[in-house]
Amino acid sequence: MSEGPSTPTGSASRRGDAAERSPLAALLVPGLILVFCAFVAYLTTTFDRVPSSLAQGMQPADYPLFLLALLSLLAIVLAWQEWGKPRSRREPLPAVFWITLGLIAVFVVLAAFVDLFVAFFVFSFSLSYAWGERRLGLSLIIAVLTPAALFFLFGHLLEVRFPRGLLTNLIYG
């Protein structure tokens, strides 16, 4: 689906309009796809080759390379299709989106190096706060109870053993 009105107009008339993006912006996504394809195609060169009797007409890299060629072709079609279309600027992402991403990064660090359930507590409480919740007592209770409920449900009922960490070491002994 096109993002703006679909009447074809000359790019010159749009150049001064601050609300519209450069026609080159249309090439960004196809360009990224082509770069991705080139990188993955490079990775296929690291695959082992097998004797032709075992390969049965197709080396392990052939099929991914065929898919990458198809993906590149589609990216070129996309670029051709998008080129010259008037495109309005996307709404900038709000600060809370970036905070959410940052909290996910903090979660990864805590889960990897401290404890999964400590990471759950910190993420749950911080995200509530970042998204505008100011009832801190309630947030705290929910940030404790939700991971505890998941631990009970998965750990006891579904017999999942969680990774060891600061808290789980205390529980598992």
Rounded CA-CA distance 117/167 in Å is 7
CA of residue 131 relative to chain centroid, distance: 20
> Which residue among 41, 114, 140, 150 contacts other proteins (CB under 8 A)?
150
Please say which residue, 17 or 149, places its beta carbon nearer to other proteins: 149
Which residues in 54-93 contact other proteins (CB under 8 A)? 54-61, 63-64, 67-68, 70-71, 74-75, 77-78, 80-82, 85, 90-91, 93
The residue assigned the tokens 């002994």 is: 173
Helices (DSSP H) in 9-94: which residue ranges?
A: 11-14, 28-44, 52-55, 62-82
User: Amino acid letter at 114?
Assistant: V
Rounded CA-CA distance 113/59 in Å is 41
Q: What is the nearest approach in angstroms of other proteins to the Cβ of residue 131?
A: 5
137 interacts with other proteins by CB under 8 A: no
First to last CA, the chain: 56
CA of residue 153 relative to chain centroid, distance: 28
Q: What is the nearest approach in angstroms of other proteins to the Cβ of residue 20?
A: 16
Rounded CA-CA distance 80/117 in Å is 49
H helix and E strand count, the chain: 8, 0
Which residues in 93-132 contact other proteins (CB under 8 A)? 93-94, 96-97, 100-101, 104, 107-108, 111-112, 116, 120, 123-124, 127-128, 131-132
Residues that bind other proteins (CB under 8 A): 1-3, 6, 8, 29, 33, 40, 43-44, 47-48, 50, 54-61, 63-64, 67-68, 70-71, 74-75, 77-78, 80-82, 85, 90-91, 93-94, 96-97, 100-101, 104, 107-108, 111-112, 116, 120, 123-124, 127-128, 131-133, 139, 142-143, 146-147, 150, 154, 158-163
